[in-house]
């Protein structure tokens, strides 16, 4: 009898400990067909995702008491068409997010690799969520911008009457202290239908350049439609031969519900290099139909036209399509499932 009571006490204690911590498996699987037309017409399965980037993640939290929690997040990107990690092109790696930290009434502190507060503050005003052929190239690798920092310490404040701020410092871990170093700030305000965001960051030695970026955006939800707008400017300074140029983007977007399950979205993006450099215009139109809270069908059309020597291609365009007279068309249709 005594042994049984001891065993029950141990089980109760372990159950209480387990109730204070949890690990969640989550992800998104998104693919479909992509058609790109430029110098060549190329089509195939979408690699990264046409509506939401595919991913597999693990998120955990442990209650330490007195409002303090330990957290971790590991998230890998997937190319659903071939099963590879879309950062490395081979086996799975947690290149989307890899953090451990603490959170409480003071906010949260995380260490590792993460999306920057600057990027998160402004990119949310892209009507296509910075994803698929309709997504803006403002934060795309074609323009040199990096949405993530690593070897970093991140702080995010608690919500203060709709205001939140965040900051990251990325250690270069190089022979010279300035190499690959990152610093950024982001601020957001959300109050009912009104939303604002602003960000600033500096990244050293991206290729041969130091990048200094500031961007801001806003949105208002009228119920029948949501209007979005943003502006981004990045200054590239060559650290070897000197000289600099600026890449400027502004975007306008609208999303509108259609019935109980659909959403139409459209956007316009303008890109310009310095005051006398190349420029490009992009227009996109899409529709998303939610079959359930987790599953949706979508279709997107996008068109980009370059001038004066600029050669931007649509986000997620099929390799080998290229440009014809500076122009490229893209069409995507697919399915997204979240779990």
- Is 116 within 8 Å of 145 (Cβ atoms)? no
Q: What is the pLDDT of residues 123-148, one digit of tens each?
A: 999 999 999 999 999 999 888 899 99
pLDDT in the model for residue 144: 84
Backbone angles phi, psi at 317, to 5 degrees: -65, 150
The span from the CA of 272 to the CA of 288, in Å, is: 30
322, two tokens? 């290229």
More confident residue, 110 or 13: 110
Taking 60 as the threshold, does the pLDDT of residue 175 lie above it?
Answer: yes
For residue 181, what are its two tokens? 């170093």
Range 169-180 average pLDDT: 76
- Whether 91 shows a pLDDT value over 90: the answer reads no
pLDDT band at residue 235 under the 50/70/90 scheme: very high
Q: What is the pLDDT of residue 176?
A: 65
Q: What domains, with CATH codes, occur in the chain?
A: 23-338 (2.40.160.10)
Above 50 in pLDDT, residue 7? no
Q: What is the pLDDT of residue 184?
A: 98
What value does the mean pLDDT take over residues 14-35?
A: 82
Report the distance separating Cα 21 and Cα 38, nearest Å. 52
Closest CA to 39 of 313, 301, 279: 313
Q: What are phi and psi of 6, to 5 degrees?
A: -65, -45
Predicted confidence at residue 329, as pLDDT, reads 98
pLDDT at 207: 74
Distance of CA 194 to the CA centre of its chain: 21
Contacts of 13 (CB under 8 A, 6+ apart): none
Which two tokens mark 47?
Answer: 């690699």
Count other Cβ atoms within 10 Å, centred on residue 220: 14
Summarised one tens digit per residue, pLDDT across range 146-163 is: 999 999 999 999 999 999
How sure is the predictor about 1, in pLDDT bands with cuts at 50, 70 and 90? Answer: very low
- pLDDT at residue 6, as a whole number: 45
- Is a pLDDT exceeding 50 seen at residue 230? yes
pLDDT tens by residue, 236-279: 988 555 578 999 999 999 999 999 999 999 999 999 998 778 99
* Least confident segment among 32-36, 89-93, 317-321: 89-93
| pLDDT tens-digit map of 184-215 | 999 999 999 999 999 999 999 777 789 999 99
pTM of the complete model beyond 0.95:
no
- For residue 278, the model assigns a pLDDT of 94
The answer to whether the beta carbons of residues 102 and 71 sit under 8 Å apart is yes
Q: Given this model, what pLDDT does residue 143 score?
A: 84
With contact defined as beta carbons under 8 Å apart, do 279 and 257 qualify?
no
> From CA 79, how far away is CA 83, in angstroms rounded?
5
What is the residue-averaged pLDDT of the chain? 91
Residue 141's pLDDT is what?
86
What mean pLDDT comes out for the span 14-27? 74
Would you say residue 2 has pLDDT above 70? no
Q: What is the 3-state secondary structure (H, E, C) of the chain?
A: CHHHHHHHHHHHHHHHHHHCEEEEEEEEEEEEEEEEECCCEEEEECCCCCCCCCEEEEEEEEEEECCEEEEEEEEEECECCCCECCCCCCCCCCCCEEEEEEEECCEEEEEEEEECHHHHHHHCCCCCCCCCCCCCCCCCHHHCCCCEEEEEEEEECCCECCEEEEEEEECCCCCCCCCCCEEEEEEEEEECCEEEEEEEEEEEEECCEEEEEEEEEEEEECCCCEEEEEEEEEEEEECCCCCEEEEEEEEEEEEEEECCCEEEEEEEEEEEECCCCCEEEEEEEEEEEECCCCEEEEEEEEEEEEECCCCCCCCCCCCCCCCECCEEEEEEEEEEEEC
Q: What is the mean pLDDT of residues 31-58?
A: 96
Please report, for residues 37, 80, 163, 273, 275, the alpha-carbon distance to residue 57 in angstroms, rounded to integers and kept in the order given: 34, 15, 28, 37, 43
Between residues 179 and 111, which one has the greater pLDDT?
A: 111
């Amino acid at each position: 009898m005594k042994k049984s009571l001891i065993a029950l006490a141990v089980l109760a204690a372990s159950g209480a400990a387990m109730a204070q911590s949890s690990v969640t498996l989550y992800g998104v699987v998104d693919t479909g067909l992509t058609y790109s037309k430029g110098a060549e017409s190329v089509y195939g399965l979408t690699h990264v995702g046409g509506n939401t980037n595919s991913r597999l993640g693990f998120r955990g939290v442990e209650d330490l008491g007195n409002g303090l929690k330990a957290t971790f997040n590991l998230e890998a990107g997937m190319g659903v068409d071939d099963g590879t990690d879309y950062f490395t092109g081979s086996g799975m790696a947690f290149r989307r997010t890899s953090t451990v930290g603490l959170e409480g009434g003071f906010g949260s502190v995380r260490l590792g690799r993460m999306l920057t507060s600057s990027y998160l503050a402004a990119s949310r005003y892209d009507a296509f969520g910075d994803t698929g052929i309709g997504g803006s190239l403002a934060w795309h690798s074609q323009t040199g911008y990096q949405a993530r920092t690593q070897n970093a310490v991140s702080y995010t404040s608690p919500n203060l009457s709709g205001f939140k701020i965040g900051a990251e410092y990325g250690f270069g871990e190089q022979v010279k202290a300035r190499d690959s170093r990152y610093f950024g700030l982001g601020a957001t305000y959300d109050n009912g239908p009104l939303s604002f965001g602003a960000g600033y960051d500096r990244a050293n030695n991206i290729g041969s350049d130091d990048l200094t970026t500031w961007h801001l955006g806003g949105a208002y939800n009228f119920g029948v439609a949501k209007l979005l707008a943003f502006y981004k400017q990045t200054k590239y300074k060559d650290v070897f031969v000197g000289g600099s140029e600026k890449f400027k983007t502004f975007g306008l977007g609208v999303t509108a519900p259609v019935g109980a399950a659909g959403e139409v979205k459209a956007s316009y993006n303008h890109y310009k290099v310095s005051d006398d450099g190349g420029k490009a215009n992009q227009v996109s139109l899409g529709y998303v139909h939610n079959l359930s809270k987790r599953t949706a069908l979508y279709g997107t059309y996008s068109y980009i036209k370059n001038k004066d020597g600029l050669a931007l291609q649509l986000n997620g365009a099929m390799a080998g399509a290229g440009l014809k007279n500076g122009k490229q068309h893209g069409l995507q249709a697919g399915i997204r499932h979240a779990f």
